Amino acid sequence: MTRITSAAGNPSVGDLREAGVRLIIGTVVNAAGITLAKGVPLARLAAFQQSGMGAAPVWDVFTSGGDIAYTGGIDAVGDMRLKIDPNDLRVLGAGRAWAPGSLFRQDGSPAPTCPRRALRTVETSLGDAGFRALVGHELEFVLVAPDGSPLETTPWVPYGATGLFDRAGFLDDLLVSLDGAGIPPEQIHAEYGRNQFEFSLPPAGPVAAADAVVLARIVVGLAARAHGLRASFSPSPFPGVVGNGAHHHLSLSRNGVPLFAGGTGPHGISTAGGAAIGGILAGLPDIQGFLTGSILSGGRLAPGAWSGVHLCWGLENREASVRFLADGEGNPHGANVEVKIVDPSANVYLASASILALALDGLRTNHRLPHEMPGDPGRLTDQERRAAGVELLPNSPALVIDTLDRSRLARRLLGDDIVDVTVAVRRHEQATYGGMAPDELASRFRLA
Ligand code: GLU
Ligand code: MG
């Protein structure tokens, strides 16, 4: 797998033919967090980039169950265009290349529901306000058998060296492929859950970082298949045990000066950095539907599961929805905040867009940094927790989506179209699968 670049940054059909490419796959991620794609023969590269390929409006509302959450505005009629960004083409092997796609209307204007465009808009707004954001994603997944059943790996040692040896063939392939695709991981480890692994991607601009997640997941899936395995990115692959998170790290700077270091606040947080953190925390319940909105998301959200269910921030606090990582020798990328609550069923573009939009909102309104939660809030009694002003984020899909639907803040930040399609797919999931027992639900969506 290789990344094709040319002096112009835009590979030619000749470059790609030489690299063995026959089919270009352009992807978009919809409101249900599903990656949808069109494949185009190499000779049609220019068309894929300029006029794009047809994508029915129902692409916005395909659910993870494979059915369609029709809305008043979305039915069988109409068409969007999926266009790829050829600067970001990566060769995947087996004659395939991949590029991230965005959705447009027939007249060439951006589709209002396009998640990648929503993130690009927030990135631009941050830039216009003088801020630069860098985002680094963590990817957690569980290896399972091709039919989705659990693998027998005995013993499983959380964070153990054994996992890195037991699955050496898969991990070697994964490392080589990620490297070849131009997204070398920062580190990889065996996670807490059985057959659960995690790797993290280096910080990048918000859109580039989200694109890298889409590509990385494809690469993980291919590497797993090559070893007779599958990778589950379900937030709750097996009920009752730790789930998969999709933690977002972000840092902000203005004129090259970081906002989360060198300031007069706690741990060097500047006033502006505090405003960004304050904005995120104040709006997190409103946008939770973008972060943990799926029918399975609640299965992961429990105190003690390190999923950040406590609405607070704290230095290196794994039970806080916003974990702060201070500047220092142990932190070569510099101070950053980690939004821990996000899970992999979220649309990565919308998760990033909503978190960054909250940060920008906090900056614009000079939000104040709330008090830090220094220890594990799970150790407090309910009364102590309330006295400390720390709420527990809800784990009910219906509640999370109702809040998103009613949120003026979310609608102001990302627009009605994006909120409405997200609410539609998630409510459809609830109506269709809400009655299933946890075991049945987990296995139904383990490989969704
Ligand atoms: N698996 C946990 C989650 O669901 C995260 C564990 C960790 O802190 O890395 O978010
Ligand atoms: Mg982890």
CB 345 less than 6 A from any atom of ligand 1: no
| Cα–Cα distance for residue pair 341/297, rounded to 1 Å | 10
| Residue 115, domain member (yes or no) | no
Q: What is the pLDDT of residue 10?
A: 66
Asked whether residue 225 falls in the same domain as residue 357, the answer is yes
CB 397 less than 6 A from any atom of ligand 1: no
Asked whether residue 146 falls in the same domain as residue 93, the answer is no
Asked whether residue 105 falls in the same domain as residue 140, the answer is no
Over residues 430-448, the pLDDT tens digits come to 999 999 999 999 999 999 8
Asked whether residue 274 falls in the same domain as residue 400, the answer is yes
CATH number for the domain that contains residue 75: 3.10.20.70
- Of ligand 1's atoms, which has the minimum distance to the CA of residue 308? 10
Asked whether residue 151 falls in the same domain as residue 223, the answer is yes
Q: What is the pLDDT of residue 9?
A: 53
Residues of the chain short of pLDDT 70, as ranges, are 1-10
Asked whether residue 279 falls in the same domain as residue 250, the answer is yes
| Residue 134, domain member (yes or no) | yes
Give the contacts of 28 (CB within 8 A, at least 6 positions apart): 35, 36, 37, 55, 59, 82, 100, 101, 102, 103, 114, 115, 116
- Compute CA 109 distance to the chain's CA centroid, rounded to the nearest angstrom: 25
Asked whether residue 415 falls in the same domain as residue 434, the answer is yes
| Domain total in the chain | 2
CB 235 less than 6 A from any atom of ligand 1: no
Asked whether residue 106 falls in the same domain as residue 126, the answer is no
| Residue 389, domain member (yes or no) | yes
| The residue to which tokens 């909102």 are assigned | 361
Helix, strand, coil percentages for the chain (3-state, nearest 5):
40, 20, 40
Asked whether residue 280 falls in the same domain as residue 140, the answer is yes
| Cα–Cα distance for residue pair 272/72, rounded to 1 Å | 42
Asked whether residue 402 falls in the same domain as residue 375, the answer is yes
Asked whether residue 244 falls in the same domain as residue 169, the answer is yes
DSSP string covering 379-422: GS-HHHHHHTT-EEPP--HHHHHHHHHH-HHHHHHH-HHHHHHH
| Cα–Cα distance for residue pair 278/280, rounded to 1 Å | 5
| Full residue range of the structural domain in which residue 428 is found | 120-445
Asked whether residue 82 falls in the same domain as residue 139, the answer is no
User: pTM for the full model?
Assistant: 0.97
Q: Which ligand number lies closest to the CA of residue 316?
A: 1
CATH number for the domain that contains residue 352: 3.30.590.10
Tell me which of 81, 110, 139 is where a domain ends.
110
Tell me which of 110, 131, 149 is where a domain ends.
110
